[in-house]
């Protein structure tokens, strides 16, 4: 066994960090849980759970409506979360951060409130082969309504974007380039700043799906030079039903509302209504107040660990997992881009991914199997599904070894 020392090279006290995550100490089928489904949803640290409980216990009230003490406390905590998130991604202003229920809501917001009013027949949107459905289907809906078309940026067999294809794709009819920062199924980290510069030189706006980037990388939306950045809270150790759309202020100001209701208006008359400024223009109704307070706690937690140390630790975990998994005869990894995030999509011989995942679940090991909401990517590789082990900083070499050994047993049983 190749157990990790308590304090590894990145200066990480793994056992202390693991103790912050209550779910990591539970048993599954009588065995200690090995949680390798972090790209699907991560576990929450006690600090996030406590922040949510404290809000409901001490401060529970609606936001932006009541002058009473609890209302003011809830509003301060909720708006404080916006400040926290804006600083974390280096937004130019807190007003550029629109709270959403996640990436899906953020991409749909842009599709309905930005793309649909602008797209005309003959226009195009470029997406990549490696996109999650949340960064494909909203654009298809926008295209269906407008007569615009999707164009697809291809990838190499290793799972990287074919860089010299971009010039050919960015023709004058392209009105948006929508791509993921980090692929959920392959782990590929796309060179977003370089790509955005190329698009900007042609006046083409860029939307980035940052769902899988925020848990692993330092993200500076201004330095990336993009126009829209979407992300989701539950993959970055925050509560479900949280996320955000960041967009430059002038873009948000140019967009009409997406959903109508309370909070998003300035005035309402039966003859017609006027809209609040961004971000509130896009936050109709009572939001997930507790969730965003929890998300701010998640950001504080990540900041406390240090995103560079997290990245260093995860590089080490990925290297170990790749080496150990490849010792399993017949195991093939899809997505081998250099510098990728700690995500390993794999197949073992002719064994179905669901069978593999089910067998190793019996040993307490959680990996995802399926299409990872990336049908076109699966089609590209000619497979229906893969098994995916996605790691986080709290995982260990010993867990990776347990998983590799369980995969080998499963292979022998199923082959």
By annotation, the residues acting in catalysis are 373
User: Toward ligand PLP, which CB reaches closer, 37 or 96?
Assistant: 37
**Cα-based torsion angle of the residue sequence 62, 63, 64, 66 in order, rounded to the nearest 10 degrees:** 40
Closest Cα partner for 186 from 120, 232, 129, 228?
129
Residue whose C-alpha is closest to residue 85's, from 227, 295, 311, 308: 295
Up-side HSE of residue 332: CA atoms within 13 Å toward CB? Answer: 15
Task: Identify which of 82, 359, 343, 33 has the alpha carbon closest to the alpha carbon of residue 213.
Answer: 343
Of 107 and 396, which has the nearer Cβ to ligand PLP? 107
What is the gyration radius of the CA atoms in the chain, in angstroms?
22
The only residue of 132, 281, 313, 340 in contact with ligand PLP, by rule CB under 6 A: 132
E strands, 270-311, in order:
272-275
Residue 317 sits at φ, ψ, to 5 deg, of: -65, -40
Q: Which residues contact 299 (CB under 8 A, 6 or more apart)?
A: 84, 85, 88, 236, 238
Kindly state the smallest distance separating residue 325's Cβ from ligand PLP, in Å: 21
Q: Is 44 in the site for ligand PLP (CB under 6 A)?
A: no
Positions in 240-269 near ligand PLP (CB under 6 A) = 243
Find the shortest distance in angstroms from Cβ 267 to ligand PLP: 32
Among 89, 134, 221, 378, binds ligand PLP (CB under 6 A): 134
Output 104 or 129, the one with its CB closest to ligand PLP.
Answer: 104
Candidates 9-17, 45-53, 98-106, 363-371; binding stretch for ligand PLP (CB under 6 A): 98-106
Position among 104, 129, 345, 390 found at the interface with ligand PLP (CB under 6 A): 104
Supply the minimum distance, in Å, between the C-beta of residue 243 and ligand PLP. 6
Report the site for ligand PLP in 320-349 (rule: CB under 6 A): none
Q: Which is nearer to ligand PLP, 135 or 396 (CB)?
A: 135
Pick the binder of ligand PLP from 38, 75, 103, 188 (CB under 6 A): 103
CB of residue 272 to ligand PLP, shortest distance in Å: 33
CB of 241 to ligand PLP, least distance (A): 9
CA distance 35 to 43: 8
Which residue lies nearer to ligand PLP by CB, 245 or 404?
245
Structure tokens at 373: 């909401």
Residue 102 found at the interface with ligand PLP (CB under 6 A): yes
Stretch that binds ligand PLP, among 127-135, 141-149, 250-258, 318-326 (CB under 6 A): 127-135
Instruction: Provide the Cα torsion 249, 250, 253, 256; round to 10°.
Output: -110
Nearer to ligand PLP, 240 or 254 (CB): 240
From the CB of 59, what's the least distance to ligand PLP, in Å? 26
Integer Cα distance of 98 and 274 in angstroms = 19
Count Cα neighbours of 246 within 13 Å in the Cβ-side half-sphere: 28
Burial of 327: CB neighbours in 10 Å, binned 0-12, 13-18, 19+: exposed
Give kind and range of the element (H or E) at residue 305: helix 289-305
Question: Could you tell me the smallest distance in angstroms from the CB atom of residue 347 to ligand PLP?
Answer: 20
DSSP letter (8 states) at residue 37: B
Contact flag: residue 180 with ligand PLP (CB under 6 A): yes
Query: Residue 12 or 112: which CB sits closer to ligand PLP?
Result: 112
Is-contact 205 254, C-beta < 8 A?
no
Among 373, 403, 406, 407, indicate the residue that binds ligand PLP (CB under 6 A). 373
Tell me the C-alpha distance between 185 and 55, whole Å.
35
Residue written as tokens 């949280």? 242
CB atoms within 10 A of CB 53: 13
Which of 128, 232, 390, 396 contacts ligand PLP by CB under 6 A?
A: 232
How many positions of this chain bind ligand PLP (CB under 6 A)?
A: 14
Distance of closest approach, residue 188 Cβ to ligand PLP, in angstroms: 11
184 near ligand PLP, rule: CB under 6 A? yes
Rounded to an integer, what distance in angstroms lies between the CA atom of residue 247 and that of residue 106?
Answer: 10
390: contact with ligand PLP by CB under 6 A: no
Q: Which residues in the 186-215 window bind ligand PLP by CB under 6 A? A: 209, 211-212
By beta-carbon proximity to ligand PLP, the closer residue of 128 and 212 is 212
**How far is 173 from 85, CA to CA, in rounded Å?**
34
Q: Which residues bind ligand PLP (CB under 6 A)?
A: 102-104, 132, 134-135, 180, 184, 209, 211-212, 232, 243, 373
């Amino acid at each position: 066994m190749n157990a990790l020392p308590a304090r590894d090279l990145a200066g990480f006290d793994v056992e202390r960090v693991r103790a912050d995550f209550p779910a990591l100490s539970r048993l599954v089928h009588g065995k200690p849980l090995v949680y390798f489904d972090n790209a699907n949803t991560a576990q929450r640290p006690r600090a996030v759970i406590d922040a949510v409980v404290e809000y409901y216990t001490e401060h529970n009230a609606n936001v932006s409506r009541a002058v009473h003490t609890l209302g003011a406390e809830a509003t301060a905590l909720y708006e404080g979360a916006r400040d926290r998130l804006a600083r974390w991604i280096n937004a130019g202003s807190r007003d550029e951060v629109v709270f959403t229920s996640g990436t899906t809501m953020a991409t749909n917001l842009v599709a309905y409130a930005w793309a649909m009013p602008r797209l005309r027949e003959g226009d195009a949107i470029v997406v990549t082969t490696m996109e999650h459905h949340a960064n494909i289907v909203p654009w298809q809906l926008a295209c269906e309504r407008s007569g615009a078309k999707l164009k697809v940026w291809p990838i190499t067999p290793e799972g990287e974007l074919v860089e010299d294809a971009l010039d050919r794709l960015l023709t004058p009819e392209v009105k948006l380039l929508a791509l993921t920062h980090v692929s959920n199924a392959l782990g590929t980290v796309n060179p977003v700043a370089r790509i955005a510069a190329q698009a900007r030189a042609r006046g083409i706006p860029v939307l980035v799906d940052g769902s899988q980037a925020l848990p692993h990388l330092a993200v500076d939306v201004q330095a990336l030079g993009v126009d829209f950045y979407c992300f989701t809270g539950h993959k970055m150790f925050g509560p479900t039903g949280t996320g955000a759309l960041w967009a430059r202020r002038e873009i948000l100001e140019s967009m009409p509302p997406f959903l109508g209701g309370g909070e998003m208006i300035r005035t309402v008359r039966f003859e017609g209504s006027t809209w609040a400024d961004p971000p509130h223009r896009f936050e109709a109704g009572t939001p997930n107040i507790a969730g965003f307070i929890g998300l701010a706690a998640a950001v504080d937690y990540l900041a406390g660990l240090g995103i560079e140390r997290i990245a260093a630790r995860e590089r080490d975990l990925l290297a170990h997992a790749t080496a150990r998994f490849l010792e399993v005869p017949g195991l093939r990894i899809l997505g081998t881009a250099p510098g990728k995030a700690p995500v390993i999509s794999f197949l073992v011989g002719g064994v179905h991914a669901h069978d593999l995942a089910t067998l190793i679940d019996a040993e307490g090991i959680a990996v995802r199997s399926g299409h990872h909401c990336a049908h076109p990517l699966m089609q590209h590789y000619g497979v229906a599904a893969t098994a995916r082990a996605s790691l986080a900083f709290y995982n260990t070499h010993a867990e990776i070894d347990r998983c590799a050994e369980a995969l080998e047993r499963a292979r022998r049983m199923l082959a």
